Amino acid sequence: MARLTHNDLIVLLLAISTMLIMSRMVGELGKKIGLPMVMGELLVGIGLGPTVLGACFPAAYAYLFPFTASAGFSLALDGILSLSVIMLLFVAGLELQLSQVVRHGKVAIYQGRDHAVGIDREIIGLLQVSGKKIQRMHVDGQF
């Protein structure tokens, strides 16, 4: 079993505390302008992830989230992040107002169904086009 070194433990606690503090701050800021706290937390996740922090400040991202540091660090951070996603979904469920779901439920179900049918049609069309290309490649001897 992989163990965390003292340096890995410090970096792990730094990463967790950065995520928690930033999530709380941006969540509260979002709440003041009328957004759910979950939106602020999601924005922090995007900001601290490889999309923003990793692209703009790769050295800071590599120090804060050294996924290749050791097997123990990667395993610990992966476990904590999985637990965080579960807690995020739990909190989002707690903020859900059932009266609004009942009131707007039919519209949401119909919208979701129509969207799914549209996606299904696109996928079927892509598969048909791909199948014709594969048949042509096979006949021409390219496949």
> How do residues 2-50 score in pLDDT, each as one tens digit?
677 788 788 888 888 998 899 999 989 988 998 888 888 888 989 998 8
Rounded distance, CA 125 to CA 91, Å?
Answer: 39
Model pTM? 0.55
The number of beta carbons lying within 10 Å of the beta carbon of residue 125 is: 10
Using the 8-state DSSP alphabet, how is residue 39 labeled?
A: H
Nearest to 11 by CA among 55, 76, 58: 76
What's residue 135's pLDDT? 54
Rounded to 5 degrees, φ, ψ at 34 are: 100, 10
What's residue 22's pLDDT? 93
- 6-36 burial, b for 16+ CB within 10 Å, e for fewer? eebeebbeebeeebeebbeebbeebeeeeee
> How do residues 43-98 score in pLDDT, each as one tens digit?
898 999 888 998 999 998 888 887 665 667 777 777 887 888 888 788 877 877 77
Q: Where are the domains of the chain?
A: 1-96, 97-143
